[in-house]
Amino acid sequence: MIDLHTHTFFSDGELIPSELVRRARVKGYRALAITDHVDASNVEILVPQLVQACQRLNEHQKVVVVPGVEITHVPPSDLEAVVASARAAGAQMVVVHGETMVEPVTPGTNKKALHLDIDVLAHPGLITREEAALAAKRGIALELSARRGHSLSNGHVAWMARETGAKLVLNTDAHSPDDLLTIAEARKVAFGAGLRPREVEQLYLNARRLVERVSGFRKIS
């Protein structure tokens, strides 16, 4: 399992980074990104803490841990500045909280985010074909979510990705230990979204390549 969207108590998760990673290891994870929630108010404070925590964890255990952010409910007009601040502070995985069906995300967030230096558009809701094509063109992954509520549009996201050639990844958006998945559980979520077997296998490859790229091509076994 490779998971590019998780949270710790640095934002609204339940666990400290070391416990999150240990529990992920027991579930069979090979890599994860810690992507706590940020906006302009905390990005320059939180990211250096995560970078330091991930560096230590990568020295002492086998799961590849990537420091990142989930830029959350930021007005589209301010997204570019927050993405730039996150990168400058050391975020290797930049996720933007997309227009999920179950939260009042500002319309236009998906489209604006897909023009920026991000890696994943999380739970993008009823993403348009135009937006999915833009994600494909720019190499930005679209997320299939295992999280309750956010997962309601997984079938639509998978359909748009198939129609446009956009890359898909499957993430937990974990906030608690119970949110972490085994690879068998993740496969069920993917099949439930309507993916074919070869597309399910591609999810893992997409995530692995992305982690290897953003972490300086550290190979994942």
The structure tokens listed for 144 are 């299939």
Give the span between the Cα atoms of 142 and 28, in whole angstroms.
23
Of 109, 122, 200, 117, give the one whose Cα is nearest residue 162: 200
Classified by CATH at the fold level, domain 2-214 comes out as TIM Barrel (3.20.20)
The full set of domain ranges for the chain reads 2-214
Give the span between the Cα atoms of 214 and 221, in whole angstroms.
16
R_g of the chain computed on alpha carbons? 16
pLDDT tens per residue across span 61-111: 999 999 999 999 999 999 999 999 999 999 999 999 999 999 999 999 999
pLDDT tens per residue across span 142-166: 999 999 999 999 999 999 999 999 9
pLDDT tens per residue across span 192-217: 999 999 999 999 999 999 999 998 75
